Every structure is written in structure tokens, then in C-alpha cells.
Chains A and B, each alone.
Chain A
Amino acid sequence: MTNTGGVLPGRATSEATGLSTIFGIAPAVVYVMWRREMVRYLRDRSQLWGGLSRTLLWLVVLGFGLGAALREIEGYTYGQYILPGVITLNVLFASLQCAIALVWDREVGLLREVMVSPAPILSVTLGKLLGGASISVIQGTIPLLFLPIVFIPPGASPFDPGVLVTAFQVSVDAVAILQAWVVMFFMGIFMTALGVIIASRLKTYEGFGAISNGVIQPLYFLSGSIFPLRGVIGGVGFMEIPEAIRDELRRIGIFAIGGGWVVQLPTWLQAIVYSNPVTYQLDMLRFVLLDFEQMPLTADLLVTFALPPVAAVIAAWSMANMLKSK
């Protein structure tokens, strides 16, 4: 036993604050700051409705509307293709809204009280990031609930219980859902951290519109969320295939088949899309949900899981310097 007084190595109790820490992080502070974010979210119903309305507009209206013209993308319907994109959009909104509240919090909210307290800033930031990521997972789960809907075969009635059960069985897989939650969570950490870095540099706040138009929408549109980056699209679908073969194909998970044309994005657009980290996170999400990827999987894994911790450290540094240099 070392001289840590019977506690585990790495654990300590700060003499000055009485806060117990593990490797410099105070779990009580992380927890209380996380809980604060969750309580704030749960009391603000407008976020939940926003998430639902975005899902209905993008997934249901655009998904089926544009899907009627664009029959398939590499064997997936347009609704299936856009679903991970809509999840991403909800994650972007949830995490950035959580992060940008910091500007407000700093000038007229609780944050000054936190900054003048002895609580370690890394723990405070961690609580914020975990809060933003948790809200992201909840908000991202709203479009995820529509997963069976986009697997209803074209022409089949969505009100037929048999059709719904088949669609559910084909699309929902516990492992895939768990993996999707993990990806959403990491996406949430990354985007909340990015939001914190932006918020710490914003001197004034005149509404969320600038963030929505200037950050969320570009990241969303330039991530391959609503148009494919490569592959074969279009096609003739099931039109000429006999019913029996269709059933056979459905059973092995193929819902559309046929030829089409090869996607060729303009070089400038390709360059922007390929340098957007959200492209890789979204690709990861599409891979775990649909087993469909357009980017190298190694790049997806790296961006999805290695970038968030780096962003979190920069976010903590930004928070610490925000008031000192004010």
C-alpha cells in the first residue's frame, strides 16, 4: 500500500477542494454537469419536436418523394440511403445546440459560477461533452425508429401488419442498433466539442440561425447524406422481375436490382465532401446500419473514433482559456 491512504492508485482527494479525483478527473463533477445537460434537454420539449419534424420532412417527405424518381442507389432505396443522413442531421442539431448554449451560459448563466468554483475544468468539459453526446443519441434514435418503414417494399401497404413485421425482421438487428448508438455517441462527442470550440470564440450571440445556416447545413449537405458519392444509381428496380423471384431476393435482403448510371461528382465538390469529417462518420453509420460504405473503412474508423478524443482535449483547453482571456 502506498501513501495514498488506502485508496486505489491514481485516486486522490484534492486537499483544497475535497473533490475526489481519478487521474485528475472528478467523477462527481462530470456526473453533475452531465445530469444538468440531460435535465435541461428533458425540460425543453421543442428539441424533441424539432427532431421529429426533421425526420418527417427529410426521411418521409424527401425520402419517398425523391425516392420515387431515384429508384435505387447501389441496391438501396433512397429512403434507406438517406436514413443515416437524417440521423446525422439530428446529431448535428442536438450537439451543436447543446454546445452553443455555452455563449449564453457564460454571460448570463451558470457557467460563471462553475468557472469561479474549484471544480477542475477538464471534468466540467467532459460533463458537457457527455451530455451533448447523450442528447445526440436520443435525438438520433428518432429517425432510427423509422428504420423498418424504409424497408417496406415499394408498393406494399404500410398498414399491413404482415408487411411491417417482415420489414422489421429484415432491417432491425440488435447488434447493428448498438453499433449505431456507439457511432452516434462518438459523433455527438466530436460535434459537441467542435461546438464548444466555436462557442468559446463567439463574443456575442444573436441566435442559433447563424450556427444552423453556417455550420450544420454545410456539414450536412457536404457529407454524402442526401446524394451518393459514388456507385451506381437509378436502375429499373423490380419492374421486370417476376413476383416469385422478388420474394426470393427480399428474403436475402435485396429490395431493388437493376442497372443505372455511375455517379461522378464534380472534382471541387468531391474535394469538399472528402475533407468533411462528417462524411466518414456518416459512412460509418451507414455501414453499421445498412452494410453499405462509400469510403475506405479504415478512414471511417479513424475519423469516427480517434478524432473525438482529440477534439475533446481542444474543447477543454478552449473552455479553460475562454474566461481568462476575456
Chain B
Amino acid sequence: MSLAAETAAKPATSAHAIEAVSLGRRYGDVVAAESVSFSVAKGEFFALLGPNGAGKTTVMHMLTTLVQPTSGSASVMGHDVVRDAEKVRRQLGMVFQDPALDERLTAKENLDIHAVLYGIPRAQRAPAVQQALTWASLAEVGQRRVRAFSGGMKRRLELSRAIMHGPRVLFLDEPTIGLDPQGRRHLWERIAALREDGMTVLMTTHYMPEAEACDRVGIIDKGKLVEIGAPREIIAKHPGAKTLEDAFLKLTGRAFRDEEATAHELVVNFGKRGGEHTR
């Protein structure tokens, strides 16, 4: 089935949690994403797979209203990401690739800010924060500053924060990067528990075992969606491929994807070298 047919076969219905139609984004002459069309059903676990710099994060940022598309459209839980950005934001929970926490604040203070930003009524804030801390197994360190947290603790805190306001769709951008096997296992168990409650999850990754655990996978390369389907279907489609990784390499080639560091990476690296003042 071609991509066009895939789109045509699944018209916009309320059964879809996420719907992207010829979504594209350019930065001047650089095309970060081009006519990306796919949909994610409610309760589905969907992975966007692709090499570094393929456009996964750009697509995710367009779906989460952080970046405006330059072509096409998208909706989350039936709300347009451009016209109804505020409603979309209310419906989604997001975990970024690098921790989006204030490291000078305590875990509790970070969660409290979240509660206010999402309009959780004053009386419910403290219980909601406590519940989130417990859910993240961080109840004992709630008063400690986040800068003293390990990567795993930060990720747990962020995941817990992302679901505090009861979102229907969860976006995870490379959620397992930098986690040890224990942290990874814990994260998967948490995600599994959320899915039992009907949460739709879209994540980006370039780890094959993670992608294979998803209901469906979309493979992005050079800004375009080159394949979509259940992992088993994708493997079957490519003769000679035994694993998703084989199929992935057949689709995206074996060449290295060396790119110049992005502005984001430059700032991250500056911080790792001991960047001053701002943390």
C-alpha cells in the first residue's frame, strides 16, 4: 500500500488521536520535513524512527504546537495544531529529549509550576504534586533541588509531570537516551501502565528494540516518511530483512549522517563543558 493510499484509506475521524496531512516545515532553503502524512489511533503506541537529523523532532514539535508547519496541517484529538493550539496543548503531555526542568528548583517546585501553568485549581495543586512525586517514586526527594538528580530521576520526574494534568496523548522525544537498563525498564513499565488507561503514545527513537515494541512505526528519512506500518509488516515487506533494523537500513542506507551541530547541541555542549551563570 502506498502512502497516499494509506492516507486515503484512513479519513479524518474522531477515532484518531493524531492526524498529520502533508505536514511540512522549511527553514529558508532547508527542508526539515516534507509532506508527512500519518495518523495514530486512540490508544495506539506509535514510534517515529529515523537517523539523526531525519526530521523526527521537527514533526513532533509541529504536532505539539512548538513549531508552526509551513505546509499541510495536523490535528491532535480533533483540534488543529495551528488554529486551536491552546486546546491541543491542554490535551497533550510532553517529555523533551533533554530535561526541561529548572535545576535550581526542587522537584516539588518544578511540579508546582506545571500545576499552575495547566490551570489546576489551587486546592488541588498540593495533592496533585504529591501524587506525581509518588508516581515517580521521588516522594522522599521532593524537597531536593533537581540539579542533584541523576538522569533517570529527572526522566521519571518529567514523565510524571507530563501526565499530571490528565492528557490524552503523550509525546516522548527519545525518552530512553542516557538511561541505564533499570531506568529504561521502569520507564517502559510506566508507559505500559498509562496505555492500559487508554493513553495514546507517540515517541521518537532510533533504538530498534524500542520501535519493535510499538504497535506501529513510521520511518522518517531526510524529512520524508518513507515507510509506515506494524514492525512485522515492515520486515515482511523487505525481502531478506530479518529484523526491523535490516528493513531500516535498506530504507535509509548505510551512509553516516554526519551533520553540523545544531544551535541546540551547541548550547547543550556549552553546558556540559561547565557553562556559567544560567543554570
A101 at the interface (CB under 8 A from B): yes
Partner pick for B278 among A20, A43, A105, A115, CB 8 A cutoff: A105
Known: A101-B277, A110-B100, A203-B263. A118 touches B68 (CB 8 A): no
The answer to whether A113 touches B100, judged by C-beta atoms less than 8 angstroms apart, is yes
- Give A119 to B118 CA distance when docked, in angstroms: 7
Please indicate the chain B residues that have their CB under 8 angstroms from the CB of A325 in the complex: 68
B120 at the interface (CB under 8 A from A): yes
Distance in angstroms from A214 CB to nearest chain B CB is: 15
The answer to whether A208 touches B66, judged by C-beta atoms less than 8 angstroms apart, is no
Closest A-chain residue to B145, C-beta based?
A43
Distance in angstroms from B88 CB to nearest chain A CB is: 9
The answer to whether A108 touches B268, judged by C-beta atoms less than 8 angstroms apart, is yes
Q: Which of B251-279 contact A (CB under 8 A)?
A: 263-264, 266-268, 270-271, 275-279
Please indicate the chain B residues that have their CB under 8 angstroms from the CB of A208 in the complex: 276-277
Please indicate the chain A residues that have their CB under 8 angstroms from the CB of B67 in the complex: 323-324, 326
Closest A-chain residue to B109, C-beta based?
A39
The answer to whether A29 touches B116, judged by C-beta atoms less than 8 angstroms apart, is yes
Q: How large is the interface on A (under 10, 10 to 19, 20 to 34, 35 or more residues)?
A: 35 or more
Distance in angstroms from A125 CB to nearest chain B CB is: 14
Please indicate the chain A residues that have their CB under 8 angstroms from the CB of B267 in the complex: 103-104, 107-108, 204-205
B interface residues, how many (CB within 8 angstroms) = 46
Q: Which of A292-311 contact B (CB under 8 A)?
A: none
Please indicate the chain B residues that have their CB under 8 angstroms from the CB of A205 in the complex: 267, 270, 275, 278
The answer to whether A107 touches B98, judged by C-beta atoms less than 8 angstroms apart, is yes
The answer to whether A107 touches B116, judged by C-beta atoms less than 8 angstroms apart, is no
Closest B-chain residue to A205, C-beta based?
B267
Please indicate the chain A residues that have their CB under 8 angstroms from the CB of B92 in the complex: 116
Distance in angstroms from A229 CB to nearest chain B CB is: 33
The answer to whether B117 touches A114, judged by C-beta atoms less than 8 angstroms apart, is yes
- Give A168 to B217 CA distance when docked, in angstroms: 74
The answer to whether A17 touches B86, judged by C-beta atoms less than 8 angstroms apart, is yes
- Give A119 to B114 CA distance when docked, in angstroms: 10
Please indicate the chain B residues that have their CB under 8 angstroms from the CB of A110 in the complex: 100-102, 105, 110, 113
A266 at the interface (CB under 8 A from B): no
Distance in angstroms from A313 CB to nearest chain B CB is: 20
The answer to whether A204 touches B117, judged by C-beta atoms less than 8 angstroms apart, is no
B99 at the interface (CB under 8 A from A): yes
A28 at the interface (CB under 8 A from B): yes
B242 at the interface (CB under 8 A from A): no
Interface string of A94-112 (1 = CB under 8 A from B): 0001001101110111111
The answer to whether A207 touches B117, judged by C-beta atoms less than 8 angstroms apart, is no
Partner pick for A28 among B96, B114, B116, CB 8 A cutoff: B116
Distance in angstroms from B275 CB to nearest chain A CB is: 7
Please indicate the chain A residues that have their CB under 8 angstroms from the CB of B105 in the complex: 36, 39-40, 110
- 20 other A-B residue contacts (CB within 8 Å) besides A28-B116, A40-B105, A104-B267: A14-B86, A16-B87, A17-B86, A26-B119, A36-B109, A39-B109, A43-B104, A104-B271, A109-B101, A112-B96, A113-B94, A114-B113, A116-B64, A118-B117, A118-B118, A204-B263, A204-B270, A205-B267, A207-B270, A326-B67
